[in-house]
Amino acid sequence: MSESTQKKLENPAGKYPAPPFNRQPQQAPGLASKMDPLPDHGEESYKGSGRLQGRKALITGGDSGIGRATAIAYAREGADVVINYLPEEQSDADEVIALIQAAGRKGVAIPGDITDPEFCKELVSTAVSELGGLDILVNNAGRQQAIDSILDITEEGFDATIKTNIYAPFWITKAALPHLPEGSAIIATSSVQAYDPSENLFDYAQTKAANVAYVKSLAKQLGSKGIRVNGVAPGPVWTPLQVSGGQPQDAIEKFGSVTPLGRPGQPAELASIFVQLADADASYATGQVYGAAGGNGHP
């Protein structure tokens, strides 16, 4: 490797913004374009090398955050990508589709609510039709609302979290499985909350633990079919999920400060993990949960 192409070493602690941050409440689901500082999804930094050439991916929550970073990386690695998101997130989704197309790949935006089982079936059917097949499924979309006491969690709120984080991956995976050929990859976004839950994320933490079990059980079920199932467990990552109720605003001011790196992660820093887990070169990795938490977390 020549000196001109060699990557410069960087101190990871100083690579991205660190707290304190401004309070910035948004209504859920929130928009990345309104955050300060703007999250880095790899728009400028991610460089592909053809690792997913010709692949066909469906990513839920692909408009912002980790899903957006994954969509950008997949496209730059040669995959065609369908993203799902809520209609309120259309402006963020438009930016992602433009980036996918700029990478020379097909990008398809399918808005809709994944807490509806019929929509989940339609989402998969449309994705398969638009892409001419499917071989990567990323169940990434999530709902997180910080509430101090179990007494203040409403049945409606609890139900929405369970449906978004547990039921939707079940419905989508069940609909997708008949279309997934040997060599396909399924990836779930879990969280450090599955292993070390915060007191104010009682319902969310339970669903993230369920996502870990989803990965480990389904990997055993699908191993003989040649389909790998893995997960990623992020720590504090700078996404709209956090500023739109996922954290109280006083916690946003110091978000990520508890990690050894002293800052939150950026979505771009997780994209390569999702690429690795989708890449056929990772053929012996199944039933695994990869951590990315700035020095905290268990997986």
**Burial grade of 160 (CB within 10 A; 0-12, 13-18, 19 or more):** middle
Q: What is the pLDDT along the chain (299 residues), one digit of tens a residue?
A: 445 567 789 999 999 999 999 999 999 999 999 999 999 999 999 999 999 999 999 999 999 999 999 999 999 999 999 999 999 999 999 999 999 999 999 999 999 999 999 999 999 999 999 999 999 999 999 999 999 999 999 999 999 999 999 999 999 999 999 999 999 999 999 999 999 999 999 999 999 999 999 999 999 999 999 999 999 999 999 999 999 999 999 999 999 999 999 999 999 999 999 999 999 999 999 999 999 999 998 87
CA atoms of 19 and 36, how far apart (whole Å): 11
How many of the other CB atoms lie within 10 Å of CB of 149?
9
Domains of the chain: 46-292 (3.40.50.720)
Give the residue numbers marked as catalytic: 204
d(CA 60, CA 71): 10
Q: Which two tokens stand for residue 235?
A: 């720590």
The rounded Cα 79 to chain-centroid distance in angstroms is 17
Distance between CA atoms of residues 277 and 187, nearest Å: 7
For residue 47, the Cα-to-chain-centroid distance in whole angstroms is 19
Comparing CA positions, the residue from 285, 263, 261, 257 lying closest to residue 273 is: 285
Residues 6+ apart with CB under 8 A from 299: 190, 192, 195, 233, 289, 290, 291
Measured between its terminal Cα atoms, the distance across the chain in Å is 33
Closest CA to 206 of 196, 215, 198, 194: 194
Report d(CA 29, CA 86) in Å as an integer: 8
Rounded CA separation 67/61 (Å): 5
d(CA 203, CA 42): 31
DSSP state of 244: I
Q: Is the pTM of this model over 0.85?
A: yes
Tell me the H-state helices in the chain.
65-76, 90-102, 117-131, 155-162, 168-176, 202-222, 240-241, 249-253, 268-278
Distance (Å, rounded) from C-alpha 246 to C-alpha 204? 9
Instruction: Tell me the CA distances in angstroms from 239 to 101, 218, 243, one per residue in order.
Output: 23, 28, 7
How many CB atoms within 10 Å of residue 194?
23
